[in-house]
Amino acid sequence: MPLRLAFRLAFRLAFCLLLLLCGALLARPLAAQPVLNVYNWADYIDPYMVQRFQAETGIRIRYDVYDSLETLEGKLSSGRSGYDLIVPTSEPSFARLVRAGALRPLDRARIPNWANLDPGLMARVATVDPGNRFGAIYLWGTVGLGVRVDALRQLLPGARFDQLDLLLNPENAAKLARCGLAVMDSATDVLPSVLRWLGKPPDSTAAADLRAAEQALLAIRPHLRAIPGSGALLDMLARGEICVAMTYSGDVIQAAARAREAGRGVEIAYAAPASGAHLWFDLLAIPADAPNPEAAEAFIDFLLRPESMAAITGHVRYPNAVPASRPLVPEAVREDPSVYPSAESLAQAFVPGTLGPAEDRARSRLWNRFKAGR
């Protein structure tokens, strides 16, 4: 065989082998790729950040969502949830998970961007997580009122939007029923504010205090259009279907942005109660039985980059705990006091305590009676 022909055959054989190898690598089953299983609130991340992390690391993210702490805790209570990263609220869900030994300590050596976190805010969650061993603040906010400003100016001229009386006073509720009232479906996030409005401790377990809170809620129950999950409530606000709702600050701010984009004359605003708002922190945490904790820590480190958190805050309009991100957040968001409350508002805000199992069951029964209207 001529030398040139032998060389050509050898080259073709090598080239074919290379193509086969590349094809085998490209055809690798998805199951063989690293997978990160994330369970987070609905509408609570910039989707581009998920795509960017996958492109940078080759780790595929399987992303599920929930719209209440009750749903999250129900999923985790059975054990073996299959999730690598969850985002519970500091009080009470995260606190209960810490006490139950259901979370894995974070390896800070794998999370160098931990140094970007605000020490003052981290100190506020250290009361339930001594040494901040199990969680890093993702986003935070308050519980207050989402209001349809254009409708309220007509129905209750001169009314103050930063007073829970707007919703919880039965006379006001009766007047506003025709434009739509709603309370998000979460005893965990609604009852502390109702108790505070009544002049009771937000984390009270006294039977008389709980009866008073139940009576206050039942008094406005006939005037409520809905008691939806937070995601559905956000959509209802944005469409102008309700004019007053008790819900999360960021959800109202998202609804306001969507309403502006729709251009239908619906004007939505958020108002934190002037007497002090329910302050909460959502934490990045890893379940004790997480299948892939190393990938979870890599994602936490990615999220704690200033540019990552700035993009997320700009997208979902909730403040984060990475101070270096704030100059990167769009000006309209970073200068909005309903996104970043003033120091005075933060000083007045309260963080409820953690309930025991019996007290939590009592509140759940109360909430079910309220939803049923009896």
pLDDT 10s digits, 89-122: 998 889 989 988 999 999 999 999 999 999 999 9
pLDDT tens, 16-42?
Answer: 444 344 444 444 444 567 899 999 998
* Nearest C-alpha neighbor of 258 from the set 239, 282, 286: 239
Q: By mean pLDDT, which of 132-136, 283-287, 341-345 is the weakest?
A: 341-345
Tell me: domain 30-135+285-304, CATH 3.40.190.10, correct?
A: yes
Domain with CATH 3.40.190.10 in the chain: 30-135+285-304, 142-279+354-372
Handedness of CA 42, 189, 237, 347 (dihedral sign): negative
* The pLDDT of residue 331: 95
* The pLDDT of residue 91: 84
Tell me: domain 142-279+354-372, CATH 3.40.190.10, correct?
A: yes
Q: Cis (ω within 30 of 0) for the bond into 92? A: yes
Spatial contact of 138 and 41, defined as CB atoms under 8 Å apart: no
The pTM for the full model equals 0.81
* The pLDDT of residue 32: 62
Report the run of H or E that residue 256 belongs to, with start and end.
helix 249-262
**Averaged pLDDT for residues 6-18:** 42
* Nearest C-alpha neighbor of 156 from the set 148, 226, 249: 148
Report the distance separating Cα 83 and Cα 80, nearest Å: 8
Report the distance separating Cα 189 and Cα 181, nearest Å: 17
Spatial contact of 67 and 236, defined as CB atoms under 8 Å apart: no
pLDDT category at 229 given cuts 50, 70, 90 is confident
DSSP 62: E
Look-up: residue for tokens 């701010």? Answer: 253
Q: By mean pLDDT, which of 66-70, 152-156, 291-295, 307-311 is the weakest?
A: 66-70
* The pLDDT of residue 43: 86
* The pLDDT of residue 9: 40
Over the range 131-140, which residues count as b (16 or more CB within 10 Å of their CB) and which as e? ebebbbbbbb
DSSP 166: H
**Residue 130, φ and ψ in degrees, nearest 5:** -55, 130
